[in-house]
Amino acid sequence: MARQDQVLLLEPQHELKFRGPFSDVVNTTLKLANPTDRNVCFKVKTTAPRRYCVRPNSGVIDAGTSINVSVMLQPFDYDPNEKSKHKFMVQSMLAPPEMTDMEGVWKEAKPEELMDSKLRCVFELPAENEKTHHDLDANKMMSSNLLKSESSTLSMKSMSSTLDDGEVKKIMEECKRLQMEAQRLREENKQIREDDGLRMRKSNVMSSQHSSHSMVKEEGLSLRTVALIVLFFVVGVIIGKLVL
């Protein structure tokens, strides 16, 4: 038995076009519409699965609805002399009532229940003048964004200049109060440093006086010891002569 005709409506119908440059990911959209009164299961397959990322690559399209499938071509070195042999196939079948396991449905499907459509891939490289035009558009967009940013900055400045006198006065008073508070803190910090320095100087003077007094006492003791030794020596000499 021959296969059924595709019930899904594909847009585009025959070709998926990818427009370079191909140094970055290039995306194209495949629209799948279900005009029937039944849900339809679908799968999107390709002959080069490593070169494309497809989201979603399978699922169910409810009756009377459509979905957009994003097909992303991965970056590669484009050779204009090499014709693309990549192809895509959209496979579909009518979903059974009360379906719970979609993978099981695909495995058990009969060949005559399956429907498919094939699309070929076409790579297009923009001409040099189109590329220049594209670059000019990009530069214009950047300039426009910069102008918008500058205008927003100017508008903020103008908003700040439109504050009424009462708000300006409050702001000035708050600034003055903060300045006075900072001045008071600086003076307190200075006074604390001066008090610490005075205490350190007093401590140093007392330490030096105590050390001087100790040195005098030690010197006095040493002189007395020497005098006693000399006295004992003289007395010993005198006693020795008397004995002899």
User: What pLDDT was estimated at residue 192?
Assistant: 83
Assess if residue 161 is contained within a domain.
no
Residue identified by tokens 């140094």 is 23
User: What pLDDT was estimated at residue 226?
Assistant: 65
Residue identified by tokens 């070195």 is 77
Assess if residue 82 is contained within a domain.
yes
User: What pLDDT was estimated at residue 133?
Assistant: 46
User: What pLDDT was estimated at residue 132?
Assistant: 44
Assess if residue 95 is contained within a domain.
yes
User: What pLDDT was estimated at residue 30?
Assistant: 97
Assess if residue 207 is contained within a domain.
no
The sign one gets for the Cα dihedral 153, 158, 161, 163 is negative
- pTM value is 0.52
Domain assignment of residue 70, given as a range: 9-102+111-124
Structure tokens at 148: 């918008």
Chunk the chain into consecutive blocks of 10 residues (it has 244) and report each block's average pLDDT, rounded to whole numbers.
84 94 94 96 95 95 96 90 86 90 91 94 74 51 57 50 62 74 78 76 65 55 66 66 58
User: What pLDDT was estimated at residue 49?
Assistant: 93
118: which strand partners? 89
Assess if residue 177 is contained within a domain.
no
Assess if residue 54 is contained within a domain.
yes
User: What pLDDT was estimated at residue 174?
Assistant: 73
DSSP codes, 2-65: PPPPP-SEEESSSEEEEES--SS-EEEEEEEE--SSS-EEEEEEES-TTTEEEES-EEEE-TT-
- Report the domain count for the chain: 1
Residue identified by tokens 């497809």 is 54
User: What pLDDT was estimated at residue 114?
Assistant: 94
Assess if residue 165 is contained within a domain.
no
Taking residue 185's Cβ as centre, other Cβ atoms within 10 Å add up to 10
Give the CATH number, domain containing residue 30. 2.60.40.10
Assess if residue 226 is contained within a domain.
no
